[in-house]
C-alpha cells in the first residue's frame, strides 16, 4: 500500500526542495482476524505503482510520482533502518504459533533510485515485467527468465529496464568501476520508446501495459 498526498501544483512545487520521506507498507492478510504490518519501505518520492519481481520475490519495483523508478530488496540487511543505536528486531512472517500482536515491522531504505533525467517526465502509470520467452536484449540473453520490465507514463515514452543491473554483485562492481573512473553510478533504462500520434499532433500517453 502506497499513499499519494493530494496537493495542487503550487503546494507540490514548494515542497520539491525540502526533505520528505514517504512510505510503502507491506501488509500480511494470512490471518483473517489480524492484519499485520511486515515491512515499511522508505522513499524520497511518492509511489504511484508497485510490482514484485517475478523471478525474485524479495525485490520490489516501484514507479514514482515524479517519473523515477525505485527498487527495494526486503531481504537485504544492508538496507535496513535501525532505530537509534539498538538493532531493530527482524520481523518474521506471521504463522499460527506466533503472537501476531507483537510483530515488529522491518523498515528499509531503497536499493536504488533511477536517474531523474533519464526517467519519465510524468508520473509512472504502470509497470509490467516482460515474459521470459520474449527476447529483449540479444547481446545479453535472459536465458528464459523475466528480467526486463516496461514502465509507461502520460509523457508519451515507454521505458524498458534491465533488473540485472541492480543485483547486489552487479551494483557493487558497477559502483566500484564508477568510483575508479570518477563518475556516479546511475540506474538508467535499457531502451526508451517514444510514442507519437500518426497525424503528428503530439505524443501519446499510456496508462496501462498488458502482456
Is residue 199 assigned to a domain? no
Q: Record the cell numbers describing residue 103, joined without a space.
A: 510483530
Q: Which residues contact 71 (CB under 8 A, 6 or more apart)?
A: 59, 60, 61, 62, 110, 111, 112, 113, 163, 166, 187
Number of domains in the chain: 1
Structure pTM?
A: 0.79
Q: Containing domain of residue 82, as a range?
A: 9-194
Is residue 146 assigned to a domain? yes
Is residue 19 assigned to a domain? yes
Per-residue pLDDT of the chain (211 residues; tens, 9 = 90+): 888 877 766 666 666 656 567 889 999 998 888 889 999 999 988 999 999 999 999 999 999 999 999 999 999 888 898 654 344 445 555 554 555 555 678 999 999 999 999 999 999 999 999 999 999 998 999 999 999 999 999 998 999 999 999 988 888 888 888 777 777 778 999 999 998 766 666 777 777 776 6
Is residue 211 assigned to a domain? no
Is residue 116 assigned to a domain? yes
Sign of CA dihedral 114, 117, 123, 127: negative
Is residue 200 assigned to a domain? no
Is residue 73 assigned to a domain? yes
57, 73 contact by CB (below 8 A): no
- CA atoms of 5 and 185, how far apart (whole Å): 30
Amino acid at each position: 500500500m502506497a499513499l499519494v498526498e493530494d496537493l495542487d501544483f503550487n503546494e507540490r512545487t514548494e515542497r520539491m526542495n525540502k526533505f520528505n520521506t514517504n512510505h510503502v507498507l507491506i501488509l500480511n492478510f494470512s490471518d483473517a482476524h489480524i492484519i499485520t504490518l511486515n515491512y515499511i519501505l522508505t522513499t524520497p518520492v511518492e509511489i504511484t505503482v508497485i510490482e514484485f519481481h517475478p523471478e525474485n520475490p524479495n525485490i520490489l519495483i516501484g514507479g514514482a510520482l515524479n517519473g523515477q523508478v525505485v527498487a527495494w530488496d526486503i531481504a537485504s540487511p544492508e538496507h535496513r533502518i535501525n532505530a537509534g543505536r539498538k538493532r531493530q528486531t527482524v520481523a518474521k512472517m506471521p504463522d499460527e504459533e506466533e503472537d501476531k500482536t507483537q510483530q515488529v515491522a522491518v523498515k528499509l531504505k531503497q536499493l536504488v533510485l533511477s536517474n531523474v533525467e533519464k526517467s519519465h517526465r510524468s508520473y509512472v502509470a504502470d509497470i509490467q515485467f516482460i515474459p521470459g520467452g520474449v527476447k529483449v536484449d540479444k547481446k545479453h540473453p535472459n536465458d528464459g527468465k523475466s528480467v526486463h520490465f516496461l514502465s509507461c507514463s502520460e509523457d508519451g515514452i515507454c521505458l524498458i529496464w534491465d533488473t540485472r543491473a541492480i543485483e547486489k554483485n552487479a551494483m557493487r562492481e558497477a559502483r566500484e568501476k564508477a568510483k575508479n573512473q570518477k563518475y556516479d553510478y546511475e540506474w538508467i533504462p535499457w531502451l526508451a520508446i517514444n510514442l507519437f500520434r500518426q497525424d503528428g499532433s503530439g505524443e501519446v500517453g499510456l496508462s496501462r501495459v498488458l502482456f
